[in-house]
Structure 1
Amino acid sequence: MLHMTQVLRPRLAAALDETDLAGGASAVLAAVLRVPAGVAAQAFQALDIDVDTFVRRTAEEVDGHVEPIGRDGWRARATAAAHRADHEFVGTEHLVDAALDLAPDRWSRILRKFGTSPKMLRAQLWRSALDTSPGGTWQSVREHPVDLVLEDPVDGHASPPVAAAVGRLFAREPIVGLSLATVTGGAIAEVVSFGCASLDPRRALTPSVPSHACSVTKIVTAAAVLRLAEKGLLSLDEPAGAYLHSLPLHAPDGTPSSATVRQLLTHTAGLAPGQGLRQYDGPVVPFAQRYRDGLRAESDPGRWSYSNLGYAVLAQVIADVSGRDHHEQVLAPLGMTASSHGDRLPAGAAMGHVVDRGRLHTVRDSAVLVPGAGGLASTAADLARLCIGLLPGRPDGFLTDDTIGLMNQGAVEIPRHPARQGLGVRSREIGGELAVGHSGAWPGYRAELWWLPGRRTGVAALCNSYTPGLFHFVTEILGGL
């Protein structure tokens, strides 16, 4: 069971506090959909759903068929929806997502009158949230009819539990393509794929087609750092600046930063999250050249704050110490031959997709400006190989068991979130057991890699449509292995 955070975004909390809950689901939704600048309100506007009419029909068709939930119940449901997507906040979009589960048949009937469906509304909620991404808004290169999203995920090669979980995911969210690999007993057990890698031209998504691994890249970067630490080429508790030859790392006051390699790995080095993380046009200036005059921290080390910039600095540390890119330290030793790292996806990779305003969009490819934080293109099978390489007891010694243990030793608390931050991985409880891994998101893509070290099992999944429910899907399968 996931621990539930009690912190909601202020506007959602205020809307719930000011609502007369005796009015039922319609009263709650009326308050939430009038939250200024709320993601839910933006989604309804994008789908041209008149809020007053929607609320009236909700009162007529839903209120009498849903038991009173109460303020705490609505908060808990919204929080559960946020955890399903592995989001570190609870907003209006999560409450609407949760409400759609209360009486799905009735919501389908209501939304059909507006020319849409619960699945499309969910997709619009997540698409509207994308515009708040610090990386910048996404761009569309082509529109397609929304009925091209996969409706029948049946794959004759999938095991019954995987096929059932896939069916549930596809019933909730529009999917273009999905690849999945499972690990049991420290070995790959199942690799399956569903749907399309691209729609124009139409191309099947096979297990060998790479996709965006997004922030799962951070696990590769951390593994490369740990490999260098094992060789004695760096110390996790020395200032990272001692190993940087290509750019200086500054404290907030401009003096040399005392942030250690370990603090960069745990997002406690005081660096900013990073803005403008993607670039659409022109050549990409190397990270070290862009920050040749120095990268200044926002705060002193110690407080957790998710930083893509911090992992780009780690990638530079690896290059400066070893003379090799960070991915070279990991991909070849683990046999991840279908994987690569670069500013942009390789030719033949899966194209990303977003549903917006009732249309399916192919997302324009963009360069990743934070190497080490993102930029890995991989397959589900290769991510499963990464998982196997980080399980204890590996005979070829990619990393020693002691080093693997360091990844979670002293993991730091992430404020208002059920996970703790280790070295490149997060740890959390799934099905009563310790799970380790990372989630990733990029416009048009989601990626997940999670494993249970104690049982030597794991699940990797890559989706080339923006699918927040992928986290819950992966952990559901993982809990059943």
Structure 2
Amino acid sequence: MTLPGVTRAVDRAVADRHIAGAVVLVARDGQLVHEQAAGMADVESQTPMAPTTVFRLASVTKPVIAVTVMHLVEQGTLDLTTPITHWLQGFRPALADGSVPEITVDQLLTHTAGLAYRMGEPPGSDYDRLEVSDGLDRTDLTLADNLERISRTTLRAVPGTEYRYSVAYDVLGALIEAATGATLPRAVQDIVCVPLQLASFAFSIGERTPIATAYSDGLIPITDEPIPNDTNVVRYAPERIFDASQWPSGGAGAAAHAHDVLRFFNAVALGGAPILRSSTVAEMYAGRIGRQLTPTLRDSFGRGWAIASPDTGPLYGLPVGSVHWGGAYGHTWSIDPATRTVIVALTNTSPEGTAGAFPSDVARATHVDLAAGEID
């Protein structure tokens, strides 16, 4: 079962070498309406992409952490408004004036805690000086070590006042561990993976697992060499996923194949069962903080994802009100709550697969095909 416009968009991106390969899945009301594996999982060996190919998820990890946190909130194990020092007594980053404000679980979920990403700060910042890990690199740190480094950074804003994409989900990972008494991988396994039967989702995998090779634009393999971005550098380490000694990053550390990613988002789209109540999912869909993306583009961010606005929906090819996000290795996903349409587009090419024309072309073709009833 395929959507012809989506098939053309994906095949065109592969033929034009904008991406090495992709697995694109679309579901409506929980039913698969498009499955496509295209291009190469590894160009050098000419290994084709397959529906079971595993991808490094990067920030596609974040919504899984958000759902895990909200499950613990429903249970009463966590609370959205209680200061996180209730569970993480030593986590007390200060503002520039030396004052130490309280940070809540909700502020971590919405990226309003005043934290940042090292890759998003200028060279020489305190994040650089303290060598904070963004969760993509390979280090000798433990989760506790990295949390301690984050706690010594200066908050960029008073918590609750400003959206700033950040290591907040790595702090949430530590919070989950503190609240449950389990490791983050075990907690996610018990709360999310077992109920949804996500067999491939993991924070480390065996070296023989068929995983997509990571490429940057131009189909250049990503290595451990830092890649410059607009502000600093992104420190990738594709081999990290094979090393079980690496700290589990709630913001960027998991891997899975596309069908497990779809199964997870279908559960959200269909109301959250068996993990969350539908009322909790509705609260997660709601915008909690405005984001001024450019002088003319504005949207909002909820508990785990962005919400497409009248400004950004047409840009991304998504209906207004859709929730969505991506992953730095070349992924995007979206849910349209109105029609319960889920798009999972995992590529192995960055940034094209995340922020290029590819994701908006796929999303736009999806909604055009579905509106026209064009399903082959």
**Which residue number corresponds to residue 330 of structure 1?**
192
Q: Aligned AA for 2:148?
A: R
Change (3 A) 1:185 1:261: same
TM-score, normalised via structure 1 length:
0.60
Q: Aligned AA for 2:23?
A: S
**Which residue number corresponds to residue 229 of structure 2?**
none
**Which residue number corresponds to residue 212 of structure 1?**
56
Gaps spanning 5+ residues in structure 1: where? 1-156
Q: Which of 459, 462, 472 is equivalent to 2:346? A: 462
Q: Does 1:437 align with 2:281?
A: no
- The CA distance in 2 between the partners of 1:339 and 1:304, in whole Å, is 32
Q: Which has the higher contact order (CA 8 A, sep 6+)?
A: 2
Change (3 A) 1:216 1:427: same
Q: Does 1:225 align with 2:73?
A: no
Change (3 A) 1:228 1:341: same
Q: Aligned AA for 1:446?
A: G
CA contact (8 A) 1:212 1:376 kept: yes
TM-score, normalised via structure 2 length:
0.76
- The CA distance in 2 between the partners of 1:277 and 1:410, in whole Å, is 25
Shift of 1:411: 2.2
What pairs with 1:207-286 in structure 2 (closer than 5 Å)? Answer: 207-244=51-88, 247-252=90-95, 256-275=100-119, 277=134, 284-286=140-142
Shift of 1:164: 2.1
Change (3 A) 1:169 1:419: farther
- The CA distance in 2 between the partners of 1:473 and 1:437, in whole Å, is 15
**Which residue number corresponds to residue 131 of structure 1?**
none
Q: Does 1:349 align with 2:211?
A: yes
Q: Does 1:363 align with 2:240?
A: no
Q: Aligned AA for 1:211?
A: F
Gaps spanning 5+ residues in structure 2: where? 120-132, 224-237, 241-245, 371-376
Q: Secondary structure at the match of 1:332?
A: helix
Q: Which runs of 4+ in 1 moved over 3 A?
A: 167-173, 253-257, 278-281, 290-296, 342-347, 366-370, 429-433
Q: Which of 308, 312, 325 is equivalent to 1:428? A: 308
Q: Aligned AA for 1:285?
A: L
- Name the stretch that deviates more: 408-417 or 210-219: 408-417
What pairs with 1:38-437 in structure 2 (closer than 5 Å)? Answer: 158-170=2-14, 174-244=18-88, 247-252=90-95, 256-275=100-119, 277=134, 284-292=140-148, 294-296=151-153, 297-324=155-182, 325=184, 327-328=188-189, 329-342=191-204, 347-356=209-218, 360-364=219-223, 365=238, 367=240, 371-393=249-271, 396-416=273-293, 417-429=297-309, 430=313, 432-437=319-324
Shift of 1:437: 1.8
CA contact (8 A) 1:191 1:381 kept: no
Work out the percentage of aligned pairs sharing the same amino acid.
Answer: 25
Shift of 1:340: 1.4
TM-superposition CA deviations, 1:431-477 (whole Å, max 9, x none): 55420121221xxx311110111111111011011222232033213
**Which residue number corresponds to residue 362 of structure 2?**
474
**Which residue number corresponds to residue 446 of structure 1?**
330
- The CA distance in 2 between the partners of 1:301 and 1:432, in whole Å, is 31
Q: Aligned AA for 2:305?
A: V
Shift of 1:171: 5.8
Shift of 1:278: 5.9
CA contact (8 A) 2:14 2:21 kept: no
CA contact (8 A) 1:251 1:300 kept: no
CA contact (8 A) 1:266 1:424 kept: yes
TM-superposition CA deviations, 1:223-261 (whole Å, max 9, x none): 01000000000111111221225x523232556541111
CA contact (8 A) 2:299 2:306 kept: yes
CA contact (8 A) 2:195 2:274 kept: no
- The CA distance in 2 between the partners of 1:234 and 1:272, in whole Å, is 23
Shift of 1:366: 5.0
Shift of 1:289: 1.9
Shift of 1:327: 2.8
Larger Cα-atom Rg: 1
CA contact (8 A) 1:237 1:262 kept: yes
Shift of 1:201: 2.7
Change (3 A) 1:426 1:289: same
Change (3 A) 1:256 1:346: farther
Q: Secondary structure at the match of 1:319?
A: helix
